[in-house]
Amino acid sequence: MLRRLFITGTDTNIGKTVATRALMQAINRLGKSVVGYKPIATEYHDTLNGKRNRDAMILHDSSSVDVSYQDINPVMLESNYGQTTTDVQFPALSQGLEKLSHLADQVVVEGNGGWRYLLNNETFLSDWVKKEKLPVILVVGIQSGCVNHALLTAEAIKNDDLEIIGWIANRINPGLSHYAQVMDRLLTHLPAPLLGEIPYLLRPEERELSHYLNEEQIEMLWGEALAAS
């Protein structure tokens, strides 16, 4: 059964967290418990409850099981630049993933930046995803140049011997005049089913987003995973 998956994007600031929230809401609508996991955060602010990352807080709010913020975001770094290889230990990330896997039917892991997100001068976050053999959902921020970024990202994921089980289109440029043409090219060339299209929205992190995803595709995806288990 599909229990864990990884959300990556074509770049930073293209709506991975919004797409992750939509997917978590859609999974919950299928009657499955779901929890988000943001293993590493590099930007955070002070709150009454301590340091918090905005994306991780959205995942915490979107989870259907009761877990602590620290369960969702175990590692906080000042910056990913200039870190040493000892700053991020993969076993700690894996332990956090394993713990959440016992608490919910589905763990949705949100990555940082794009696929080749550097944790330090030697290590990519994708190295950990490969180690865990997580299936991948690609979020494409629909804007000029995104077809190239999406296809290169898909190729890199394939070269890491991982499977893209679907992709989500997130419209981040409301003024893009050739949206339909961009979507046609992505539908033709990306080697995975389109799971949904999220339009440009104000404050999407506060909204119910599951209806922007294709419920039939998601049911089919989870059904195929169940049959293969």
pLDDT in tens, 172-229: 999 999 999 999 999 999 999 999 999 999 999 899 999 999 988 988 876 555 444 4
According to the annotation, is 116 in a ligand binding site?
no
Residues 6+ apart with CB under 8 A from 97: 4, 37, 39, 107, 109, 132
Q: List residues bridging with 30 in a β-sheet.
A: none
Q: Which two tokens stand for residue 135?
A: 């299936």
Question: Which pLDDT belongs to residue 56?
Answer: 97
Q: Which two tokens stand for residue 3?
A: 């229990």
Radius of gyration of the chain (CA): 17
Question: Which pLDDT belongs to residue 109?
Answer: 99
Identified catalytic residue from 38, 131, 133, 158? 38
Span 48-82, pLDDT tens digits: 888 899 999 999 999 999 999 999 999 988 765 55
| Helix spans in 66-145 (H) | 69-72, 90-101, 125-132
Q: What is the C-alpha to C-alpha distance for residues 113 and 117, in angstroms, rounded to an integer?
A: 6
Q: What is the C-alpha to C-alpha distance for residues 206 and 166, in angstroms, rounded to an integer?
A: 24
According to the annotation, is 109 in a ligand binding site?
no
For every residue of 133-180, DSSP letters joined together read: T--EEEEEEESTTHHHHHHHHHHHHHHTT--EEEEEEEE--TT-TTHH
38 is annotated as an active-site residue: yes
pLDDT exceeds cutoff 60 at 10: yes
Other CB atoms within a 10 A radius of the CB of residue 144 amount to 11
pTM here is: 0.92
Span 34-54, pLDDT tens digits: 999 999 988 888 888 888 999
Superfamily (CATH H level) for 4-221: P-loop containing nucleotide triphosphate hydrolases (3.40.50.300)
Span 86-144, pLDDT tens digits: 467 899 999 999 999 999 999 999 999 999 998 888 899 999 999 999 999 999 999 99
Question: Which pLDDT belongs to residue 121?
Answer: 82
> Residue 154 to residues 35, 104, 136: CA-CA distances in angstroms?
25, 28, 10
Parallel, antiparallel, or unpaired: how do β-strands 164-171 and 136-142 relate? Answer: parallel
According to the annotation, is 112 in a ligand binding site?
yes
Q: Which two tokens stand for residue 225?
A: 């995973």
Backbone angles phi, psi at 165, to 5 degrees: -90, -5
- Max Cα separation, the chain? 48
According to the annotation, is 17 in a ligand binding site?
yes
Domain spans, the chain = 4-221
Residues 6+ apart with CB under 8 A from 95: none
